Amino acid sequence: MKNNILKYSKVLGIFSVALITISSLTGCNDSSDSKSESIKPEPTNTSKGKFIPIYEPATNAENRVEENLWRSRKLLEGYTEEMNDFVNIPNDIKVVAKECKEANAFYDSDKNTIELCYELGVEERKMFTEEGDSGVNLENELYQSAVGTLFHEAGHALIAELDLKITGREEDVADQLAAYILTYNDEDKDYLITVADTYGLAAQRATSLDDLPFYDSHSLDAQRATNFLCYVYGSDMKGFQNLIDDGVLNKERAVDCEHEYQQIVDAWDFLLGPYFKNQSKNNIS
């Protein structure tokens, strides 16, 4: 079963297959509170809401560099267009690029706002630069990283706004939405590989067990990296056999990845089915 998502590649496809990172290496904070009495998704025709792009001006030079990059790549415009073509939502959700005084991204259910901090771009620019990346390649990485973060935040936003019922940790589920979206097209799957690479790099920063935030609502960076590898492998085992051959994805984990991936696709198809903008694409069986 193919998942039901519009082709994000029409936005992302301007780049050659390069690195993408979902970033949020420190993870996002989520203030959503989606308690409700309903127990199953109900069809809705509501489409009053829209995702609305907003860039707030940066006030310092470092942040302004990221603002200029995101504006020039039409990051928020592309993202909101895709989300608006994808699902019906009852209320507007602002997608705001802004200074936050921390390197992070958020979904705030009280304000119905996704916030993407320029500081996150600054932090990732430093990280990629330390890896030796520069020029257009670096900018592509930063752009794609921000896109990945936005899809993760979309997971939080949709869970709250549509009152979706989930099991498991919401941070993991939000990662799964990003995987669901970025595996729709073959060309986008390489983005997930890069997301995994980035989390893998981030995981290497830890030098002792004391550095690992076991308490955190997010899975550990190394786990998130492995999950993304597993999902992309599960979406096309033959195409990504190299992940096994090269020892990038653990063989024992890989055994169940196709099943894991299909569970994610089936679940998001089911959860979002009533809200898909184009019901003719609904593949729910």
Residue closer to Zn ion (CB basis): 186 or 216 = 216
The closest residue (CB) to Zn ion is 28
230 lines the binding site for Zn ion (CB under 5 A): no
Shortest distance in whole angstroms from residue 100 CB to Zn ion: 14
Shortest distance in whole angstroms from residue 28 CB to Zn ion: 4
Residue closer to Zn ion (CB basis): 22 or 243 = 22
177 lines the binding site for Zn ion (CB under 5 A): no
Q: Which phi and psi angles does 259 have, rounded to 5°? A: -65, -45
Q: Which of residues 23-82 bind Zn ion (CB under 5 A)?
A: 28
Shortest distance in whole angstroms from residue 156 CB to Zn ion: 5
Q: Which stretch binds Zn ion (CB under 5 A): 51-59, 63-71, 168-176, 254-262?
A: 168-176
Closest to 123 (Cα-Cα) out of 108, 102, 144: 102
Residue closer to Zn ion (CB basis): 123 or 133 = 123
Residue closer to Zn ion (CB basis): 71 or 169 = 169
Q: Which of residues 107-146 bind Zn ion (CB under 5 A)?
A: none
Shortest distance in whole angstroms from residue 177 CB to Zn ion: 10
- What is the 3 state secondary structure string of the chain? CCCCCCCCHHHHCCCCCCCCCCCCCCCCEECCCCCCCCCCCCCCCCCCCCEEEEECCCCCHHHHHHHHHHHHCCHHHHHHHHHHHHECCCCCEEEEEECCCCCCEEEECCCCEEEEEHHHHHHHHHHHHHCCCCHHHHHHHHHHHHHHHHHHHHHHHHHHHCCCCCCCCHHHHHHHHHHHHHCCCHHHHHHHHHHHHHHHHHHCCCCCHHHCCCCCCCCCHHHHHHHHHHHHHHHCCCCCHHHHHCCCCCHHHHCCHHHHHHHHHHHHHHHHHHHECCHHHCCCC
Residue closer to Zn ion (CB basis): 167 or 285 = 167
Q: Which stretch binds Zn ion (CB under 5 A): 4-12, 43-51, 130-138, 167-175?
A: 167-175
Q: Are 254 and 230 in contact (CB under 8 A)?
A: yes
Who contacts 239 (Cβ-Cβ below 8 Å, separation ≥6)?
Answer: 186, 189
Shortest distance in whole angstroms from residue 174 CB to Zn ion: 5
Q: Are 157 and 177 in contact (CB under 8 A)?
A: no
Residue closer to Zn ion (CB basis): 75 or 174 = 174
Q: For residue 254, give the amino acid letter.
A: A
Residue closer to Zn ion (CB basis): 157 or 203 = 157
Number of residues binding to Zn ion, judged by CB under 5 A? 3
- Looking from the CA of 142 toward its CB, the CA atoms found within 13 Å total 32
Residue closer to Zn ion (CB basis): 117 or 174 = 174
174 lines the binding site for Zn ion (CB under 5 A): yes
Q: Which stretch binds Zn ion (CB under 5 A): 83-91, 169-177, 201-209, 252-260?
A: 169-177
Shortest distance in whole angstroms from residue 97 CB to Zn ion: 17
Q: Which of residues 248-267 bind Zn ion (CB under 5 A)?
A: none
Q: Which stretch binds Zn ion (CB under 5 A): 46-54, 143-151, 170-178, 228-236?
A: 170-178
Residues in contact with Zn ion by CB under 5 A are: 28, 171, 174
